[in-house]
Amino acid sequence: MRGSFTAKGQATRGRIIQGAAAVLRERGVAMMTLDDVLARTSTSKSQLFHYFPGGKDELLLAVAQFEADQVLEDQQPYLGCLDSWDAWYRWRDTVIQRYEEQGDHCPLGSLFLQIGRNTPGARAIVTELLRQWQEHLATGIRAMQTAGHVPASLDVDRTAAALLAGIQGGVSILLSTGRSTHLHAALDEGIMTLRNAASAAI
Amino acid sequence: MRGSFTAKGQATRGRIIQGAAAVLRERGVAMMTLDDVLARTSTSKSQLFHYFPGGKDELLLAVAQFEADQVLEDQQPYLGCLDSWDAWYRWRDTVIQRYEEQGDHCPLGSLFLQIGRNTPGARAIVTELLRQWQEHLATGIRAMQTAGHVPASLDVDRTAAALLAGIQGGVSILLSTGRSTHLHAALDEGIMTLRNAASAAI
DNA sequence: CAAAAAATGGACCTGCAAGTCCAATCTGGT
DNA sequence: ACCAGATTGGACTTGCAGGTCCATTTTTTG
């Protein structure tokens, strides 16, 4: 199927996805129409349905995947080497900056509320994203343990899970209220927990 | 305006809101139509537009308010008297149970993604809910300080904010993945933070 | 260079769901 | 009992957005 697309076809397909993502950030899922996407990408209906035979749902799913890939990329290279307190703080700043810039549109969240959890594809995308994200955090914590900055007795998975939850909640509150206070608090608390665990263990 | 509704009218209005809330939990915002609501509540179009002249948006807003009121109520009486470790754990169990039962539909989240943050009404509802929620948590933490279980040096507002963020994120992950692991972790970490602060201060 | 396959343009269809309207019925006050 | 205003029923309109179709152009391939 996908192999039958030529290079030009792939390019068009990609353009449609990116255009849809842009429209989505501007207008939100509820307000986005296929015609918006066509207008923005200078493509025609037949093209859209040529590359996304499943119609709107398939397109939204593709955009969801596109946005999901972006999330972790935007946190690099910091998320990949959380091996010192300084690295953790730099990563924290990156996260906060990214989501403050994003403003009050959450492509992923709204997307998959629209697509619905029922569709297996949507759920898989989010689940996989969260899994990778948490794994990065856990790896970072383990690195700190290895370096002796955090006691080995700390429950890595639970700490990472809690931190990830805090971030998610912080972002979702930022979307709701426009204030990044909670995201800030969640990140600071999370890192502080690591540090306190360290000092408490002394 | 509202005063001109008779008792019967108010009852109908209420029925419509509750019916809409039910439909919403079942089918999700994207899939809900006014006709669904009419069918479920045995009312007619003219009634719906009589009580909600603003149409669908106004109805959704009313449902949002209805659901928001529910959220804190469901956590009572525990949320109101977080003055011992035992009380905190009972509250935690209540929260987890409530959201595990709710399954994978978030009336508020989806609602106000649909209505959009742009509308002032929607934003106000969520902001106020979060404010009250966090205030309850802060009050609880202060009670623990007063009782000497938590050191007075603890930054109450930040801790409460982080805990609230963790809950929000935990719930949103529960909605996405169907697993309550993160909600669990966030609550446990949050309470553990209070306890560790206590022991660290000794 | 010719045939086949892919890519594109855009008119058209269709169904649905929000919102309108008016006539009919009920209810509460005097 | 009577009247005004509130309530209700449901047919009708309307616009839009998703999806179909086919003719045309471009590209690949042999």
What CATH number has the domain bearing residue A30?
A: 1.10.10
* pLDDT range class, residue B96, cuts 50, 70, 90: very high
- Tell whether B27 and B116 lie within a shared domain: no
Give domain status of residue A59, yes or no: no
Overall domain count for chain A: 2
Amino acid at A26: E
A57 touches strand D (CB under 7 A): yes
User: How many CA atoms are closer than 13 Å to the CA of B189, on its beta-carbon side?
Assistant: 36
CA of B68 to C1' of D9 (A): 33
**What is the C-alpha to C-alpha distance for residues A83 and A139, in angstroms, rounded to an integer?**
9
Of the candidates B174, B200, B201, B202, which has an alpha carbon nearest to the alpha carbon of residue B187?
B174
Residue A43's φ and ψ, nearest 5 degrees, are -125, 175
Helix (H, G, I), strand (E, B) or coil at B179: coil
Reply yes or no on whether the pLDDT at B171 is more than 90.
Answer: yes
**What average pLDDT score do residues B185-195 get?**
96
- Tell whether A91 and A184 lie within a shared domain: yes
* pLDDT range class, residue B2, cuts 50, 70, 90: very low
Helix (H, G, I), strand (E, B) or coil at A88: helix
**What is the C-alpha to C-alpha distance for residues A9 and A12, in angstroms, rounded to an integer?**
5
B151 to chain A, any CB pair closer than 8 A? The answer is no
Contact A16, A51 (CB under 8 A): yes
Question: Regarding predicted confidence, which is higher, B105 or A195?
Answer: A195
Reply yes or no on whether the pLDDT at B104 is more than 80.
Answer: no
Reply yes or no on whether the pLDDT at A135 is more than 70.
Answer: yes
Of the candidates A53, A54, A61, which has an alpha carbon nearest to the alpha carbon of residue A119?
A61
**What average pLDDT score do residues B128-152 get?**
96
- Tell whether B153 and B120 lie within a shared domain: yes
The Cα of A159 is separated from the nearest Cα of chain B by a number of Å equal to: 7
B113 to chain A, any CB pair closer than 8 A? The answer is yes
| Predicted local distance difference test score (pLDDT) of residue B202 | 43
**What is the C-alpha to C-alpha distance for residues B87 and A26, in angstroms, rounded to an integer?**
45
> Which nucleotide C1' is nearest A47 CA?
C8
**What average pLDDT score do residues A182-191 get?**
98
Give domain status of residue B58, yes or no: no
A181 to chain B, any CB pair closer than 8 A? The answer is yes
- Tell whether A94 and A13 lie within a shared domain: no
Based on C-alpha coordinates, what's the Rg of chain B?
20
CB contact under 8 A, A165 and B182: yes
The Cα of A47 is separated from the nearest Cα of chain B by a number of Å equal to: 26
**Boundaries of domain holding B10:** 2-53
CATH number of domain containing B98: 1.10.357.10
**Sign, CA torsion B49/B53/B56/B61:** negative
B109 touches strand D (CB under 7 A): no
Question: Regarding predicted confidence, which is higher, A144 or A106?
Answer: A144
User: How many CA atoms are closer than 13 Å to the CA of B2, on its beta-carbon side?
Assistant: 5
* pLDDT range class, residue B1, cuts 50, 70, 90: very low
* pLDDT range class, residue A30, cuts 50, 70, 90: confident
**What average pLDDT score do residues B13-22 get?**
97
A139 to chain B, any CB pair closer than 8 A? The answer is no
